[in-house]
Structure 1
């Protein structure tokens, strides 16, 4: 925006300078020409007055020769012609003679006022000696055009200097004005970006820029403060709810265990069912907390080695899958690649997907993980040969409590969807050829410049067997 404002003001100033300076210079040039011509014609009329006394009154040519000498001393050239266009007298300089001078003489003798021509770098001017309608002769005066050219060059030179100075001043003022307006907006944009990335204590500078921008920064700070208060309050409520729910659930489970120890078979079965419901309620509380934490997670992306994370999670979950009679493997052939992801996100995503697959696949089934790079995107997948999902179940899978599976919370895929989208990727569900479900993750690749600095992913604890 700074550049656009500066260029706009500079173009506007250039147009205004062109519209003002060029016509002014042209006007001054025309005025210089007229002034120079008037001065030249005045000098020619002085010689013409002396020539009239000689040609009309028959007086001696003394005064005429005196004026011609003065004209020659000033650097001009002059010639005197009689009424028959014959050369009567002149200065030693012959610039006032020739074809152009003779044509001027003819025009003046006929009573016309022609446009004075230029001869050998000198401007010619002709004045009648005596009456304009019946002149006794004609005086032609030639004066060098160099002084006029110098004056015109000075006019245009000073005009160019003034225009350039105005343009430079406009450029400096434009850049300063653009920065005065643009810098606070850039700072505000950076503050908004950091706030969106999770820096809730971020505030904008309200002491610089135009009043409108300062008011906008103040409004942003108010919004940021309210957002920080709401998020912190939300987190406090979550922490309190977590503590308040887990404690009575644990106490209730212990009481049921005590009762089940002394109960008969029928009562023990009922208590076991109640314990299952308590376990399901505990998983539901844990899932809600996981979703809440995922919704609050907005860390900046870092380079995460996807191949290492896949291998690590397969190693961590293999004993759990083996205990359930399920084979968990990583597909061979995956090249080393780094993805842009938040710290710990990819591990949490794969943990949720593997846990869902282990619960869904019957004994003797198979779960495989793999990855590949495609342009600027890394594709990771978790494939199983379990019962799969219907089209209706797939449409609701990423919504909270969208799962209708018995004993499920319907929160695992909601956590996955939230974490993947925070990292700028996408997730989709596909049918596995031959039966089953494949979850496909599309994550952005980390730029090449960061791969050589990429370290291994942060290891998570191995999931406990249940």
Structure 2
């Protein structure tokens, strides 16, 4: 942001300087050239007036030679010609004589306005001696353009200096302005990032900057405080519910176990059905608590070797798959490191593998593969079970989204939450030949190592 503000002010100031200083320099340069030319023509006319007395009135040439001497002392070269274009008198230097001077004399004697040329750093002017229409002669004066060039260079030098000072002042002011605005925003951004990473006690300390930024920081702190209170309140509710529900369910299940051990006949059958319902209710409570914990998860991402975790979880579930006579395997993939919360990938894979094993019949297969797709690590859990219909896929990641699920119907909801909270995505596809494929897109690790944070066990099948 600071760089953008500085560059914007610099570009604006540069544009203003170009639009103001350059035209001013051009105008001043033109005025200097006109003034220089007028001074030269004025000096030429003075010599022409003195020469007229000698050429037309046949008076003494003393005044003419005096003016020529004065011109030579000033560094100019001058030459006087009669009406036949013959050289009458001149200064010691010869710059006012030659081909260019002869052309000017001819034009002046013909009564035309000459176009003074500029060659080799000198300027030539010609003026008639006497009447313009019938001049008695002509005077040519050559003057060095060095003083004019020096003044023009000084004009542009001062213009460049003023522009450079203006640009330097603009840079200093824009940097100070950018820091004044950018520093509190950077502080606020860092506080928001830490809050998003799970540090609920984080607050933004903004003492300077624009009033709008200070008000934004105050609003952020208010929001952070309310968020902290809400999260702590939810955690307290979850802890209370966990204790208040699990304890009586465990006691009820124990009593049913005792009664079932002594019952016979129809009573034993009814108690067995009650035990099944109690077990299902316990799993449902555990699932709801797991989803609630997952929804409150704000992970601090750490580098996780995806291929190693996949191999580890496949190995851990291998005995279960063998017991159910299901082929469980992992496709050899590249060594990939993803940016995930500690333990999240293990919990996701446990839910997906458990669901796949439940869906596959004896002799079926479940495969877990890893590959790179763009900037993501893609994990695919494929099974050759009965698959899932289009309507079921649309609501599969909702709580109890699949009414035909064999378990609680909460496993995919936990998977979706854990994947998306880490900046990834999850989708369902049909397996070629029948079955379901769950595709996980996990962000690759690109940052510096972060401090891992332990998470509660969210596994639910």
| Structure 2 unaligned regions, length at least 5 | none
Q: Which moved more, 1:210-219 or 1:253-262?
A: 253-262
* Residue 203 (structure 2) aligns with: 203
Q: Deviations over 1:197-226 (max 9, x none)?
A: 333333334334333333333333322222
Give the Cα separation in 2 of the matches to 1:97 and 1:321: 113
Q: Which residue of 2 aligns with 1:342?
A: 341
* Partner of residue 400, structure 1: 399
Instruction: Provide the TM-score with structure 2 as the length reference.
Output: 0.85
**1:393-432 map, 5 Å:** 393-405=392-404, 408-430=407-429
Deviation at 1:81, TM superposition (A): 2.4
Equivalent runs, 1:444-455 vs 2, <5 Å: 444-446=443-445
Match of 1:225 in 2: 225
More off after superposition, 421-430 vs 344-353? 421-430
Give the 3 Å change call, closer, same or farther, for CA 255–151 of structure 1 in structure 2. Answer: same
Residues 64, 307 of structure 1: alpha-carbon distance in 2 compared, 3 angstrom cutoff: closer
Show the 5 A alignment for 1:316-465. Answer: 316-320=316-320, 325-327=324-326, 329-331=328-330, 333=332, 336-361=335-360, 364-366=362-364, 368-376=366-374, 377-384=376-383, 386-405=385-404, 408-430=407-429, 437-446=436-445
- Equivalent in the alignment of 1:244: 244
SS, match of residue 220 in structure 1: helix
Paired residues of 1:5 and 1:178 also in contact (CA < 8 A)? yes
Which residue matches 2:114? 114
Residues in 2 aligned to 1:311 and 1:67: alpha-carbon distance in whole angstroms: 108
Change (3 A) 1:154 1:335: closer
User: Residue 45 of structure 1 aligns with which residue?
Assistant: 45
How far the C-alpha of 1:312 sits from its partner, in A, is 3.1
Which shifted more, 305-314 or 415-424?
A: 305-314
The 2-side partners of 1:382 and 1:138 are apart by 105
Distance in 1, Cα, partners of 2:109 & 2:455: 113
1:67 aligned residue: 67
Structure 1's 381 and 326: CA in aligned 2 closer, same or farther, altered over 3 A? farther
How far apart, in 2, do the equivalents of 1:171 and 1:459 lie?
49
Could you tell me how far apart the structure 2 residues matched to 1:328 and 1:300 are?
A: 35
> Superposed, which structure 2 residues align to 1:9-408 within 5 Å?
9-118=9-118, 121-260=121-260, 263=263, 265-320=265-320, 325-327=324-326, 329-331=328-330, 333=332, 336-361=335-360, 364-366=362-364, 368-376=366-374, 377-384=376-383, 386-405=385-404, 408=407
Task: Name structure 1 gaps, 5 residues minimum.
Answer: none
TM-score, reference length from structure 1:
0.84
Separation (CA, whole Å) in 2 of partners of 1:139 and 1:432 = 105
Shift in alpha-carbon separation, 1:152–1:337, aligned structure 2, 3 A: closer
Q: CA 1:61 to 1:438, structure 2 compared with 1: closer, same or farther past 3 Å?
A: closer
Please list the CA deviations of residues 64-83 of structure 1 after superposition, one character each: whole Å capped at 9, or x if unmatched: 22222222222212222234
Flag the 1:149–1:280 CA change in 2: closer, same or farther, 3 A: same
Q: Do 2:310 and 2:330's aligned partners in 1 also have CA atoms closer than 8 Å?
A: no
Cα distance in 1 between the residues matched to 2:201 and 2:19: 53
Distance 1:440 1:55 in 2: 109
| 1:14–1:243 Cα change, 3 Å | same
1:37, CA displacement in angstroms? 2.0
Paired residues, number: 458
**Does structure 2 retain, via aligned residues, the 8 Å contact 1:195–1:202?**
yes
TM-fit CA distance, 1:289: 1.0
CA contact (8 A) 1:372 1:379 kept: yes
Q: Distance in 1 between matches of 2:321 and 2:456?
A: 17
